[in-house]
Chains A and B, each alone.
Chain A
Amino acid sequence: GNSVTQMEGPVTLSEEAFLTINCTYTATGYPSLFWYVQYPGEGLQLLLKATKADDKGSNKGFEATYRKETTSFHLEKGSVQVSDSAVYFCALSPYGGATNKLIFGTGTLLAVQP
């Protein structure tokens, strides 16, 4: 079946540190991959996406590359800020499915300290 596995949090970093949040997936075919972010008390916001192998999604300094050979879509940022503190969700939309439903990982809490 289709599933997403994320590294468990919380991830605690100092401001300007390098961030990596690992995400691996299991899926048939070639799913689309997404990172969503959830700030405290809010809904989900799309952060970035990639729809085919070797695509790199990027937004607001965050990047993730669709790696088919390792079935991974790790999120990275070179220098985090306090305002990046949130829960980050990796998700996939199965290729060939009837709809664009999303399958999410359990989320990774990022806490950035000044």
Chain B
Amino acid sequence: DAGVTQSPTHLIKTRGQQVTLRCSPKSGHDTVSWYQQALGQGPQFIFQYYEEEERQRGNFPDRFSGHQFPNYSSELNVNALLLGDSALYLCASSPTIYPQETQYFGPGTRLLVL
């Protein structure tokens, strides 16, 4: 049983560009969350998708957007990249949206913005 997978593993972009990160949830999971982890910090919640809709959003600007597909996989898009967007982007999945459910994390995509 594959766990949460993310692609690509590493990415280098320049300021002003746009980037798309991808996530496939663990089998049987229908909820996908995205987190940003800056160097030396804890992950920060970006948003969560359930039933192809954004259900909750953290304190991130509109440059950060996402999508969930009918097979539950998800994309994170970041427009007009800033140097400060350099971070490890983590995807997490869970079987439902409810607070008692544990989230399982993928290995992350490391984004470097030059």
Known pairs A43-B108, A44-B105; A100 contacts B98 (CB<8 A)? yes
User: A93 within 8 Å of B by Cβ?
Assistant: yes
The reply to whether B42 and A107 form a contact with Cβ atoms under 8 Å apart is yes
Interface string of A31-63 (1 = CB under 8 A from B): 110101000001111100101000000000000
Other-chain residue from A4, A31, A32, A101 in contact with B45 (beta carbon distance below 8 A):
A101
The reply to whether B99 and A102 form a contact with Cβ atoms under 8 Å apart is no
Other-chain residue from A32, A44, A101, A104 in contact with B56 (beta carbon distance below 8 A):
A101
Q: Which of B41, B43, B104 has the most CB of A within 10 A?
A: B43
Residue of B nearest to A52 (CB): B100
> What total count of A-B pairs have CB within 8 Å?
78
8 A Cβ contacts from B61-114 to A: 90, 92, 94, 96-108
Main secondary structure of the interface of A (DSSP, over half): loop
Main secondary structure of the interface of B (DSSP, over half): loop
User: B55 within 8 Å of A by Cβ?
Assistant: yes
Other-chain residue from A34, A51, A96, A101 in contact with B33 (beta carbon distance below 8 A):
A101
The reply to whether B103 and A45 form a contact with Cβ atoms under 8 Å apart is no
Other-chain residue from A91, A95, A99, A105 in contact with B97 (beta carbon distance below 8 A):
A99
The reply to whether B55 and A99 form a contact with Cβ atoms under 8 Å apart is yes
Chain A residues with Cβ below 8 Å from B99 are 31-32, 93-97, 99-100
Q: How many angstroms between the C-alpha atoms of A31 and B100 in the bound complex?
A: 9
